[in-house]
């Protein structure tokens, strides 16, 4: 039979094809049992005289029987073959399933839901989360997170996102301990003083200046005028502004100097555990020096990122640290420079809070960030629309209470200019960019939004990309429209092609 090979050209072609197919399968499955089986079949089908002669000695003569044996071996190979994982491209599927909870609240004065497994560092996401690729949950984070325990019976936990206009300030209270994360602008000093006084917080166990910008450390001096302080964390000890100088001298009056914490370090606030996920003291951009802090209380968790931008987000993602959080304090006041898709996909927040000033000149929060949050079904709160936002956790659920406009359309008022209930009185201290009166566009200190590449608008359905100004970009249906910041090469690599009209 093998001797007749030369005359059976069509049969040989089929054998060659089968042989090549088996060898290819062998390569696809790398080092595995399946590969060995496919390699064996590859050799078996090779229509070379010595091999076929050798096989003839052992195999039955009947062709049908031989084919059947080969087929059975092939099926066995398929069964034991490991699943080949196809890499999901970086354009994420924005359908982040935050599980079927109570996000559809009609009465938004308060909103309660199940906390995510903030404490369960090893547990898998809810089973409904089938659209996202495997996360890095199983990899060991570089830092050991403190083990979380169920809060004791008389325990309490609150985060007050204080409305300090275009700035950040959050007061975290747990079991009688207090931590202030940022303190607004210099103009907010008296507001911070009064806030602590009204809440009877005469001692702050921790004060964190996420980074040296005035809208974060400016009002801390006021807070320190009222309250004493245990530990003050900041990524730098000096920074050449009057506001920072005031912060340092207010600390020294309390006998405290700035501690630059180390990345990965942990501390406790009552029964809550806090981990510093990032802090890049050597970054030339103060925003990216921001202390990124994750607080875990029972099964609920909270992520504070200061003004850290996507480069920091990416480095945290790369580190494999657990960042999944019930509540995300949206980075950089909702600037496009932060809160990237991949970040949001991994944090999987059920709630987000944006600390931002009404009608600010930065255009914060940006439409891009808002639409990402909306697409990911994240129940979002905004200080510019809702004033002070208070979040209470019982270790299982979080509840939000806002000052005003509980039912505000937080995604509708793009750029922070949404309608406000006319009877609401504004806080007299809201700075509204008073510190930079001459600047109307890009203030020098805080924003670096432009450096993230060109703004393109993608049509996810047609796979075309446009300049933002292109008239066809404006016609893209909301569900197909996606904003992208980067280069055209990146887009082309992602399978997009440039629009014929605007020729980006």
Q: Give the footprint of Zn ion on this chain (CB under 5 A).
A: 213, 215, 287, 307, 446
Task: Write down the least CB distance from residue 285 to Zn ion, Å.
Answer: 9
Q: Which is nearer to Zn ion, 117 or 307 (CB)?
A: 307
Return the C-alpha torsion angle 36, 39, 45, 47, nearest 10: -140
Q: Say how far apart CA 354 and CA 208 lie, in whole Å.
A: 18
Task: Write down the least CB distance from residue 213 to Zn ion, Å.
Answer: 3
Q: Say how far apart CA 143 and CA 266 lie, in whole Å.
A: 9
Task: Write down the least CB distance from residue 108 to Zn ion, Å.
Answer: 26
Would you give the distance in Å from CA 139 to the centre of its chain?
17
Q: Which is nearer to Zn ion, 287 or 418 (CB)?
A: 287
Q: Which is nearer to Zn ion, 288 or 459 (CB)?
A: 288
Task: Write down the least CB distance from residue 245 to Zn ion, Å.
Answer: 17
Measure the N-to-C terminal CA separation of the chain; round to a whole number of Å. Answer: 64
Q: Say how far apart CA 449 and CA 131 lie, in whole Å.
A: 30
Where does residue 339 fall: left (phi above 0), alpha (psi -120 to 50 degrees), or beta otherwise?
left
Task: Write down the least CB distance from residue 468 to Zn ion, Å.
Answer: 24
Return the C-alpha torsion angle 332, 336, 340, 343, nearest 10: 10
Q: Say how far apart CA 64 and CA 60 lie, in whole Å.
A: 9
Q: Say how far apart CA 168 and CA 152 lie, in whole Å.
A: 30
Q: Which is nearer to Zn ion, 19 or 185 (CB)?
A: 185
Q: Say how far apart CA 134 and CA 122 lie, in whole Å.
A: 13
Burial tier of 275 (Cβ tally within 10 Å: 0-12, 13-18, 19+): buried
Task: Write down the least CB distance from residue 287 to Zn ion, Å.
Answer: 4
Task: Write down the least CB distance from residue 290 to Zn ion, Å.
Answer: 7
Concatenate the DSSP letters of all residues of 320-351 into one string: T-----SEEE-GGGG-TTS--HHHHHHH--SE
Task: Write down the least CB distance from residue 446 to Zn ion, Å.
Answer: 4
Q: Which is nearer to Zn ion, 114 or 305 (CB)?
A: 305
| 3-state secondary structure string across 65-114 | HHHHHHHHHHHHHHHHCCCCCCCCCCCCCCCCCCCCCCCCCCCCCCCEEE
DSSP annotation of 284: S
DSSP annotation of 235: S
Q: Which is nearer to Zn ion, 442 or 463 (CB)?
A: 442
Q: Say how far apart CA 185 and CA 195 lie, in whole Å.
A: 14
Task: Write down the least CB distance from residue 341 to Zn ion, Å.
Answer: 22
Q: Which is nearer to Zn ion, 215 or 336 (CB)?
A: 215
Q: Within the chain, how many helices (H) and strands (E) appear?
A: 14, 20
Half-sphere exposure of 192 (CA within 13 A, CB side): 33
Of 327, 342, 271, 345, give the one whose Cα is nearest residue 485. Answer: 342
Q: Which is nearer to Zn ion, 291 or 390 (CB)?
A: 291
Give me 266's structure tokens. 């942990």
Q: Which is nearer to Zn ion, 215 or 430 (CB)?
A: 215
Q: Which is nearer to Zn ion, 113 or 288 (CB)?
A: 288
Task: Write down the least CB distance from residue 164 to Zn ion, Å.
Answer: 10
Task: Write down the least CB distance from residue 364 to Zn ion, Å.
Answer: 9
Give me 38's structure tokens. 């496919």
Q: Which is nearer to Zn ion, 94 or 330 (CB)?
A: 330
Q: Which is nearer to Zn ion, 251 or 356 (CB)?
A: 356
What Rg do the C-alpha atoms of the chain give, in angstroms? 29
Q: Hunting for tokens 């196809």 — which residue is that? A: 86
Task: Write down the least CB distance from residue 127 to Zn ion, Å.
Answer: 37
């Amino acid at each position: 039979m093998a001797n007749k090979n030369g005359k059976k050209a069509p049969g040989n072609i089929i054998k060659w094809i089968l042989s090549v197919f088996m060898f290819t399968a062998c390569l696809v499955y790398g080092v595995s049992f399946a590969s060995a089986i496919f390699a064996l079949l590859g050799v078996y089908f090779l229509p070379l005289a010595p091999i076929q002669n050798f096989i003839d000695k052992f195999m039955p003569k009947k062709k049908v029987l031989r084919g059947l044996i080969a087929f059975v071996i092939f099926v066995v190979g398929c069964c034991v073959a490991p699943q080949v994982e196809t890499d999901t491209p970086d354009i994420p599927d924005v359908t982040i399933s935050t599980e079927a909870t109570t996000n559809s609240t009609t009465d938004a004065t308060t909103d309660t839901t199940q906390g995510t497994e903030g404490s369960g560092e090893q547990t898998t996401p809810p089973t409904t989360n089938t659209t996202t690729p495997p996360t890095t949950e199983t990899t060991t984070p570089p830092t050991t997170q403190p083990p979380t325990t169920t809060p004791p019976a008389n325990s309490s936990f609150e985060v007050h996102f204080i409305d300090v206009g275009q700035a950040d300030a959050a007061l975290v209270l747990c079991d009688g301990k207090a931590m202030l994360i940022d303190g607004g602008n210099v103009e907010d000093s008296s507001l911070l003083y009064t806030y602590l006084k009204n809440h009877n917080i005469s001692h702050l166990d921790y004060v964190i200046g996420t980074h040296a910008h005035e809208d974060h450390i400016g009002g801390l001096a006021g807070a320190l005028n009222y309250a004493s302080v245990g530990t003050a964390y900041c990524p730098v000890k000096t920074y050449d502004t009057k506001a920072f100088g005031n912060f340092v001298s207010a600390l020294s009056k309390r006998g405290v100097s700035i501690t630059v914490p180390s990345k990965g370090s942990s501390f406790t606030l009552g029964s809550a555990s806090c981990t510093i996920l990032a802090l890049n003291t050597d970054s030339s951009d103060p925003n990216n020096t921001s202390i990124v802090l994750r607080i875990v209380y029972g099964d609920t968790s909270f992520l504070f990122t200061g003004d850290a931008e996507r480069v920091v987000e990416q480095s945290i993602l790369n580190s494999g640290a657990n960042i999944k959080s019930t509540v995300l304090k949206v980075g950089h006041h909702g600037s496009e420079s932060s809160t990237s898709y991949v970040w949001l996909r991994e944090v999987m927040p059920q709630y987000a809070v944006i600390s931002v000033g009404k009608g600010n000149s930065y255009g914060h929060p940006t439409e891009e960030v808002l639409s990402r949050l909306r697409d990911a079904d994240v129940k979002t709160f905004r200080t510019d629309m809702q004033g002070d936002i208070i979040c209470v956790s019982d270790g299982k659920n979080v509840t939000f209470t806002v000052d005003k406009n509980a039912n505000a359309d937080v995604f509708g008022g793009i750029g922070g200019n949404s309608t406000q209930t006319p009877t609401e009185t504004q806080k007299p201290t809201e700075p509204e960019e008073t510190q930079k009166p001459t600047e109307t566009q890009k203030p020098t200190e805080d924003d670096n939004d432009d450096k993230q590449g060109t703004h393109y608008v993608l049509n996810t359905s047609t796979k075309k990309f446009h300049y933002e100004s292109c008239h066809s970009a404006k016609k893209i249906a909301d569900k197909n429209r996606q904003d992208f910041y980067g280069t055209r090469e990146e887009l082309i690599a992602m399978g997009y092609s440039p629009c014929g009209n605007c020729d980006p």
